[in-house]
Amino acid sequence: MSDPGLPHVLVVYEPAEGYPRGTPAQVAEALAAMPAMALHMARLGEAAARGDVLLGGPVSAIGDGLPRGGMVVFRGREAADVVAFVEDDPVVREGIERARVYRFAPAPGMHGSVDAS
């Protein structure tokens, strides 16, 4: 369960050696076919269902639209717990993506509801 007294933790996923190459459609199709990506998404879905994830999703380049990894904002979790979560992430273990973990403090007045539409 999340602890609202703990800081937010930002995870930035970036392509690694095992990340697919090609057009945006080819990359998306290749990622969708990877068992490690399915497990990655399932784990993040479970974390979101527990209330540990504020928001997250894939990111793409503005110029060419190519997928470039993703980002997730965890809330109410110890940074060490998020680091352990990331180290055990199938896409990280299999070299598809690498992840950077940061403490994240929303600026006053910039923290509110997020519309996913």
Cβ–Cβ contacts within 10 Å for residue 28, how many? 16
Reference 12, options 69, 61, 66; nearest CA is 69
What does the pLDDT read at residue 116? 45
Higher-scoring residue by pLDDT: 95, 7: 95
Question: What per-residue confidence (pLDDT) applies to 111?
Answer: 61
Mean predicted confidence (pLDDT) in 21-49: 94
3-class DSSP state for residue 53?
A: strand
State how far the Cα of 80 lies from the Cα of 85, in Å rounded to an integer. Answer: 9
Q: What integer pLDDT is reported at residue 88 of this predicted model? A: 97
Q: What is the pLDDT of residues 51-105, one digit of tens each?
A: 999 999 999 889 888 889 999 999 988 899 999 999 999 999 999 999 999 998 8
Share the mean pLDDT of the chain: 88
pLDDT of residue 1: 55
